Structure 1
Amino acid sequence: MGAAGGWGWAPARALLCAVCLRGARRARQVTGGPAAGFLLQAMAAASDALEPLWAWGTPGGGPPTPLPGAWVSAMLGQPLVAFGFHRLSGDRATANLLLGAAAALAPIAARLPEEGRLLAARAVTFLTAGSTLTLSVLTGNAPGVLGSLLMAAGNLLPAPGARFEGHPWVLAAGNLALQRALRQLGVD
């Protein structure tokens, strides 16, 4: 599960990191869920951007290959953002169910073979984006609709040369849209 394209994707991942850091900074004063989710996504993007520097996962032994940051972001970071989105909208039951399911599934899925991890990440992405999309449609939050669709597309359509790395340009745009959607809910 190495980085798609090595250094070729570093600028896109750096942009994704910057966008998510901005979101974490802006959301931290109102609620911890989105702030933690954006921060986790920023750290994951930075880790993926620097991945060509790591000497992990040598075929003949050595330390195990770490999970890609994009996988961690999809399994935990994005559900944290969605958790805050639902809580700020007054939908606490869905918020708690979504975050609880993601938190319970992540450690189990991390031990699965690559195919199983890919399936788990896609399931959590579908659940997170679907719930945020539904809430955005019901509340008339256009940036939330756009952000949900972009986050789903960014995770379900991987970067060229990768099985699951997420598409950093699309994910950056999705995170910007979700930040605007949260602003409509009163985060900024």
Structure 2
Amino acid sequence: MTPKPEGEWSTVLSQVVLGVVSLHAAVSTAQASRGAAAGFLLQALAAATMLAPGLGTQEDCLAGAWVATVIGLPLLAFDFHWVNGDRSSANLLLGGGMVLAVAGDHLGPEGRSVAGQAVLLVVAVTILIVAIFTANTYGMWGGAILGAAGLLSRLEEDKLLLLPKEDICRWALAVGSWAYCRALHTQHMQWE
């Protein structure tokens, strides 16, 4: 049983865009921050597994998306906090993500959904806070967009703006990842 996209152009296109943006962000941030690059790479791999036939079962793809959310996103926030000297918040975010990744098997589908959305919102808010204090415009936009994606994922509707809700969230995640990549670049330029 291979995972199959719904066949809609928006689903396939949103997965491809998220994968390409995340892979580009991983490559462009690899020199400055290996942790953030690993987070972007996890997102790219999760998007790729949803599209590629023969890479595993639907459960494998969902597990990949789970790991990309609870480990990949905290890796992005880790760098923002670490560079600004807030090492305890950086370690707390990453450690919490690791604990959730391990505990994912003990949570039901609804529990994983809520935990994933909570991680997305916590990461978005903490990066937004750091971006505001460091006047990093890209970080502010990235935090706002990822926060919106987290809130949109909680809506009960299956379609938003005539597209499936999951596609809208992937588009927002792709735009937010691009903004975070630019924010990381800006942040590292300020500290050099």
TM-score per shorter chain, which class? 0.7 to 0.9
Give the CA deviation at 1:90.
Answer: 2.2
Provide the secondary structure at the position in 2 that maps to 1:144.
Answer: helix
Relative to structure 1, the CA distance from residue 165 to residue 155 in structure 2 (aligned partners, 3 Å threshold; closer, same or farther) is farther
Give the CA deviation at 1:111.
Answer: 2.9
Comparing 164-173 with 130-139, which one deviates more in the overlay? 164-173
Distance 2:93 2:17 in 1: 27
**Quick one: which of 141, 144, 169 aligns to 2:139?**
144
Matched pairs, number: 179
**Aligned residue for 2:35?**
33
Deviations 1:39-94 (A, max 9, x none): 1011011112336x66736xxxxxxx235243332211111111112112222111
The answer to whether 1:124 aligns with 2:119 is: yes
User: As a proportion of its length, which structure holds more helix?
Assistant: 2
Comparing 162-171 with 127-136, which one deviates more in the overlay? 162-171
**Quick one: which of 67, 76, 80 aligns to 1:81?**
76
Deviations 1:137-182 (A, max 9, x none): 1111111011012122224424748787872211111011101111
Provide the secondary structure at the position in 1 that maps to 2:71.
Answer: helix
The answer to whether 1:134 aligns with 2:129 is: yes
Provide the secondary structure at the position in 2 that maps to 1:29.
Answer: coil
The answer to whether 1:178 aligns with 2:172 is: no
The answer to whether the 8 A contact 1:155-1:166 is kept is no
Relative to structure 1, the CA distance from residue 19 to residue 55 in structure 2 (aligned partners, 3 Å threshold; closer, same or farther) is closer
**Aligned residue for 2:15?**
13
Using structure 1 for the length normalisation, give the TM-score: 0.83
Distance 1:145 1:70 in 2: 24
Relative to structure 1, the CA distance from residue 29 to residue 3 in structure 2 (aligned partners, 3 Å threshold; closer, same or farther) is same
Give the CA deviation at 1:129.
Answer: 1.0
Gaps of 5+ in 2: none
**Aligned residue for 1:103?**
98
Distance 1:112 1:165 in 2: 24
The answer to whether the 8 A contact 1:85-1:132 is kept is yes
Gaps of 5+ in 1: 58-64
Distance 2:61 2:56 in 1: 14
Provide the secondary structure at the position in 1 that maps to 2:57.
Answer: coil
Using structure 2 for the length normalisation, give the TM-score: 0.81
